[in-house]
Amino acid sequence: MAKEFNVPPVVFPAGGNPAAGNLQQRRVPTAPFQPPRPPSSSLPFMSFDIGSATSTAASTIYGGPIGGGGGGGPSGSANFDDEEPLLDELGIHPEQIWRKTRSILNPFRVNPAVHTDSDLSGPIILYLSLCLFQLLAGKIQFGVILGWIVVSSMFLYVVFNMLAGRNGKLNLHTCTSVVGYCMLPLVILSAASLFLPQASVVRFGIAGAFVLWATRASTALMVALAEGEEEHRGLVAYACFLIYTLFSLLVIF
Amino acid sequence: MYVNPRLQPGAPTPSTRSQPNPFEDALYGAGPGLIRGGLGAYGEKFLGSSSEYVQSNISRYFSNPQYYFQVNDQYVRNKLKVVLFPFLHRGHWTRIMEPVGGRLSYKPPIYDINAPDLYIPFMAFGTYVVLAGLLLGLQGQFSPEALQWLFVKGLLGWSLQVMLLKVTLLSLGGVEPPLLDIVAYAGYSFAGLCLAIIGKIILRYMYFVMMPLACLCMGIFLVKTMKRVLSAEVRSYDASRLHYLLLFIAFAQFPLFSWLGNISLNWLF
């Protein structure tokens, strides 16, 4: 029995070696079950080996944590605990979003300090809630609102930097972040307009008030975030007013 | 002066200016990178051709856009008064020149009420789109797609106006002002148009009063401006031809404004 046989390592059908096999199966539930697939299927995860380094197909489907886990899998089970939480890795910080949103809720005083580092996840959440309220009103406008947000933030970015001249320090990320956060009054307007009578003065009046709130908040933020633009405050305010009136048209009509 | 000094090492650099103006030279400013890159591309295209004569005229063809945004509140208010009620403008219509680095150039809009700017045309265009949406909504015909088509219609109208002015200036010969100047003059028409549409929103019949008034005012404004632009070039041209062309510009405002002001679901007409 001294003879050593050259035993090739056991390879699971779509999995790696047994030591990391259980670990991978925890996160890739489809791998050991091998659901029946048509032979002409071109799904990428059929043809790779989780334990090997060519697990790029999996990481493109399942995202960061799996790719990191797949790469570190063969070296042991410690890496799963070392990973960052999912939200942190994606860059979404719920407390920051909540803090920024709360700062816009006060129509009379805006605190620009919390908005210095811009993020786009808050605006995406506000965009989705605006679309949701519009959906409740019977209007399917997901693409329209997203397109209008993109175009209007580019418009505001160009106008603001041209007005500021040499000192134009606003970048597009911050601009989109400000425009997105100041959509909060419009989200509240679309929620309220579900209960207001159609084509009445009350509707227009409330919409006007909310648009003015959004304009005031966004102008204060833009002027505070790109310093030294006090003298163009009225000009920037009119540009913001146009943008939010445009969105309020979607809500009112 | 409008050409990128990076490509012309011998040209007067910004530091030799008699009056340091932080607003000029968008290419040095921290402005939007896209616009800076675009201007750089244009500069290289024009500088590829060799002669000195062409180089000295590059600034005539595509000027620095940041010049048109050097505005403030007071300028905007006064300029709107000039554009909407040109017959009330008591002063002269000529632009003020200043010597900058050995060459004469126009003063920026903050210092000169007669200088064209691009802030008012852009804002007036945006106001036109928003007011058109409001009008559609009040008629019960609002939809986002309709508003997007109206945006395209506004752009078409703007470019038609630009073509009208450009053709007039070309047919009279001479060196034309920079393209952005003409775009600015054409864009001022949206200010009068917005007033007419506000009239339409308030009272349906007020539109038929405000619209000819707006056309007339815009016609007067454009005639006075073109006359000043053309007389700046001392050239011998046929005086009667000049007058006929100016009259044509003024009368062409009527069909253009009524087309742009006709806001309905059928966007093209």
* A238 with B123: Cβ contact below 8 A: yes
E strand residue ranges, chain B: 97-100, 103-106
Rounded mean pLDDT, A189-210: 93
Over 60: is that where the pLDDT of A61 sits?
A: no
Among B166, B181, B233, smallest CA distance to B64 is for B181
Q: Which residues fall within 8 angstroms of residue A132, CB to CB, at 6 or more apart?
A: none
More confident residue, A58 or A40: A40
> What residue has token string 């038609």?
B160
The whole-number pLDDT of residue B133 equals 95
Residues from chain B that touch A144, judged by Cβ atoms under 8 A, are: 144
Over 50: is that where the pLDDT of B31 sits?
A: no
Cα dist from B18 to B1, B46, B229, whole Å: 14, 27, 27
Distance from CA of A163 to the nearest CA of B (A): 5
pLDDT tens for B164-216 read 999 988 888 767 788 999 999 999 999 999 999 999 999 989 999 999 999 99
Q: Is B50 exposed, middle or buried (0-12, 13-18, 19+ CB in 10 A)?
A: exposed
The whole-number pLDDT of residue B256 equals 94
The whole-number pLDDT of residue A177 equals 94
pLDDT band (50, 70, 90) for residue B16? very low
Give the percent of chain A with pLDDT over 70.
72
More confident residue, A10 or B115: B115
pTM for the model stands at: 0.73
Residues from chain B that touch A238, judged by Cβ atoms under 8 A, are: 123
Residue type at position B36: R
A158 touching B (Cβ < 8 Å): yes
The whole-number pLDDT of residue B15 equals 40
Over 80: is that where the pLDDT of A2 sits?
A: no
Size of interface A-B (CB pairs under 8 A): 77
The chain-wide mean pLDDT, for chain B, equals 79
Q: Which of A1-10, A172-181, B59-68 has the highest mean pLDDT?
A: A172-181
Give the percent of chain B with pLDDT over 90.
46
* A165 with B69: Cβ contact below 8 A: yes
pLDDT tens for B95-134 read 888 887 778 888 889 998 999 999 999 999 999 999 999 9
B147 touching A (Cβ < 8 Å): yes
Over 90: is that where the pLDDT of B159 sits?
A: yes
Complex ipTM over 0.90: no
Of A45-49, A62-66, A200-204, B150-154, which gets the smallest average pLDDT? A62-66
CB B87 within 8 A of CB B220: yes
The whole-number pLDDT of residue A109 equals 83
Residue type at position B70: Q
The whole-number pLDDT of residue A209 equals 95
Residue B256 tokens read as: 């253009």
Out of B32, B76, B144, the one facing A161 most closely (by C-beta) is B32
Over 70: is that where the pLDDT of B264 sits?
A: yes
The whole-number pLDDT of residue B171 equals 85
pLDDT band (50, 70, 90) for residue A14? low
The span from the CA of A221 to the CA of A214, in Å, is 11
The span from the CA of B147 to the CA of B255, in Å, is 22
Cα dist from A112 to A115, A139, A158, A227, whole Å: 5, 34, 21, 11
Residue A53 tokens read as: 């380094």
A249 touching B (Cβ < 8 Å): yes
CB B199 within 8 A of CB B206: yes
- Residue in A closest to B36 by C-alpha: A162
The chain-wide mean pLDDT, for chain A, equals 79
The whole-number pLDDT of residue A84 equals 82
pLDDT tens for A222-249 read 988 887 678 889 999 999 999 999 999 9
Q: Per DSSP, what are the bridge partners of residue B98?
A: B105
pLDDT band (50, 70, 90) for residue A213? very high
* A253 with B137: Cβ contact below 8 A: yes
Q: If you compute the radius of gyration of chain A from its CA atoms, what whole number of angstroms results? A: 26
pLDDT tens for B65-104 read 888 999 989 999 999 999 999 988 888 888 888 887 778 8
pLDDT tens for A102-158 read 999 988 888 888 888 888 999 999 999 999 999 999 999 999 999 999 999 999 999
